[in-house]
Chain A
Amino acid sequence: MMQQTFWNVLERRLLVGGEKRQEILTELRQHFDVAGSVSTMGDPELLARRYNRVHTGVLSSLSRLYGTIIASLLVLWALSWLRYPVPNEFVLINHTAFFLSSMFGAVRGLSFVVLVVLVGSAVTRMRRMWWHVFATAMTALAVSVLTTLLTSGGSADMMFPVITVGVMTVLGLLASVFVSPLPRLRSRIQTIGRVAAESLLGIALGTVIFFIATMFTEGTLAPYDLYPAWARPPHGTFIRAFNDFFESGAGAWGVAVLATGAFFVFVLYRERRIVLTSRSGEAASYITPAFRSRRKKYKK
């Protein structure tokens, strides 16, 4: 294969974007410079596909993407049966079933958030990122409309899942900014701009995480908080004690404070990395020996 054809095919098929893309191409070109031939590198299409699989996860191919979406929908569908296993009037008698259904409902919701964050994080690593953001958002919207049509039969609540999916997609994409690879920052202004923008975004996301965690605590960990006394599980049972712990006091805020705190620790750690790597004048992995020595120097 002609060398130029090899590089053209590789560049066209390589979906990985940003700094990682440059790194891959530089590394291969350096290999080529020493080896003197591209023949040892094999099929460029296969090579690109292997890199895509490593760096873009479920987005490396359409079959993987849709396979993941379909598998997730099947899991959510199965969990939704666990969410509503008994009629409402029975719920008041069978507290264990109600408690379990609340927990499974939370798992269903959280599994969706995790999926969206994973897809969002993969999207930020791609070339032509905005095209993929648009395609992912459209896919999420189409899936939510389809799911709604299949499950609600066009009832008044039809728009609710669509809005939920939309909000989760946006949140996932925002959250994915924090797990995306750090860019090579060359100037102080770029560094200040990036730190300021990420800090604002971090505060906004932290607030959202706090409210979601509070709602999660109230809706799932304290499912009986709005029930009249006679409909609650009797005193002395595990379910009642669990519910009462998370209904008020430290228990009601504990999960939200822990989740938000953990998020802010992560944000601060990341911002620190941006400052350190940009001061050093090059983007380096934070666990390399070279970085460690720079970090010591910076600390002094």
Chain B
Amino acid sequence: MANKELLKGNTRLIILSALARQPMHGYALSKHLKTELAEMFKFGVGMLYPALHKMERERLIVGAWQAVEGADRRVYSVTKRGKRVLANEKARWRAFSSLVTNFVQTAV
């Protein structure tokens, strides 16, 4: 039941939430998202990496080459600014979801 439209508007929220738990490299992040969100969102690699680069340019996350399991990997972590944005996005999401839930529940 993957929903592309839902994903489009919430890419930042999802990536920031995942990286806020722990810094990850691209492959680990894609696996993590696949495990956690496969039912609802299909996160293609072709979408994930450019999104990471975009967020890095926006200084929401920062990438650094680190040795992980014997290989150099670009590990991403959330910046202070990213944490602020994540808090805002979370609040926006909560407000949106509760509003829609209430609205849908009142439907016949």
Contacts and interface: CB of A to CB of B under 8 A. Distances in A.
Interface in A39-72: 40-43, 46-47, 50-51, 53-55
Nearest to B58: A54
Per DSSP, chain A at the interface is helix
B79 interface: yes
A134 B74 CA distance: 34
A287 B79 contact: yes
B27 A30 contact: yes
B14 interface: no
Contact of A285 (B49, B54, B64): B64
B47 interface: yes
B87 to A, nearest CB: 20
Interface string B1-31: 0000000000000000000000000110010
A124 to B, nearest CB: 15
Nearest to A28: B49
Interface string A274-288: 000000001011011
Q: How large is the interface on A (under 10, 10 to 19, 20 to 34, 35 or more residues)?
A: 20 to 34
Contacts of A40: 30, 44-45
Nearest to A46: B46
A31 interface: yes
B27 A50 contact: no
Given A30-B27, A54-B57, A47 B63 contact: no
Contact of B74 (A23, A35, A50): A23
Given A42-B46, A50-B46, A50-B50, A285 B27 contact: no
B33 to A, nearest CB: 12
B54 A54 contact: yes
A150 interface: no
Interface in B19-73: 26-27, 30, 44-47, 49-50, 53-54, 57, 62-66, 71-73
A31 B46 contact: no
B8 to A, nearest CB: 13
A43 B46 contact: yes
A140 B73 CA distance: 41
A288 B64 contact: yes
Given A42-B44, A54-B54, A284 B64 contact: yes
A98 B63 CA distance: 51
B26 A287 contact: no
A287 B81 CA distance: 12
A290 B75 CA distance: 12
Contacts of A282: 65
A156 interface: no
B22 to A, nearest CB: 14
Contact of A50 (B47, B64, B65, B66): B47
Contacts of A285: 62-64
A51 B58 CA distance: 14
Contact of A27 (B46, B66, B74): B74
Interface of B: 26-27, 30, 44-47, 49-50, 53-54, 57, 62-66, 71-74, 79
Interface of A: 23-24, 26-28, 30-31, 33-35, 40-43, 46-47, 50-51, 53-55, 282, 284-285, 287-291
